[in-house]
Chain A
Amino acid sequence: EAGVTQFPSHSVIEKGQTVTLRCDPISGHDNLYWYRRVMGKEIKFLLHFVKESKQDESGMPNNRFLAERTGGTYSTLKVQPAELEDSGVYFCASSQDPGVGTGELFFGEGSRLTVL
């Protein structure tokens, strides 16, 4: 079974440019999450999708970040325009429907974003 896949693995852009990160969750996982880890700091929650709906987007830093999950399958996270402080590793995770299983989140390997 394929795990959570993320693309690109690394993106280097200049301040003011736009970047779109993609996440393909494990097939059948309705829950999809985006997290971010800024260098040396904790992994911070950004938002949570249940299928195509945003369940919780309280962690999104500002309106330069836009997450979508059209059709309830893969998700994209767009940063426009990118700022220096957006640099970090963006992790995507997926899980089965809450209440089923252990609650384990399956993480992708992350997309490293470097804003120059």
Chain B
Amino acid sequence: GESVGLHLPTLSVQEGDNSIINCAYSNSASDYFIWYKQESGKGPQFIIDIRSNMDKRQGQRVTVLLNKTVKHLSLQIAATQPGDSAVYFCAENRGSNSGYALNFGKGTSLLVTP
């Protein structure tokens, strides 16, 4: 069935290092992907998105890479900071009839250590 998932449930990195969070999806018809960050006690917060006609998009300290051939999505965070500690979710658009309703993955917990 259609699903979005993550390779690793937890990731620990040292402050200042780069982080890479991976995500696999199974619906080859998905055309829109988003990364969300959820801090403890808060709702998911938009980080960056990418459409299927792109393979890379950069934001401030973050880069999303999309490999449609292997249905893989990744989020790269440069110079990871303690404030980046959170759970990161990838999500895909459910389909054009669902507006921006999304399918989420299980999330990766990122822990930044000093």
Contacts and interface: CB of A to CB of B under 8 A. Distances in A.
Contacts, number: 73
Interface residues of A, number: 27
Nearest to A112: B41
Given A33-B101, A42-B107, A102 B94 contact: no
Contact of B103 (A45, A48, A102, A110): A45
Given A105-B46, A110-B43, A44 B104 contact: yes
Contacts of A103: 32, 34, 49, 93, 100
B75 to A, nearest CB: 16
Contacts of A104: 34, 46, 49, 100
Interface of B: 4-5, 32, 34, 36, 41-46, 49, 89, 91, 93-94, 97-107
30 contacts: A31-B99, A31-B100, A35-B104, A40-B106, A42-B4, A42-B104, A43-B44, A43-B89, A43-B104, A43-B107, A45-B94, A45-B102, A48-B101, A50-B99, A55-B99, A56-B97, A56-B98, A56-B99, A91-B44, A93-B44, A98-B99, A103-B93, A103-B100, A104-B100, A105-B34, A105-B102, A106-B46, A107-B36, A108-B43, A110-B43
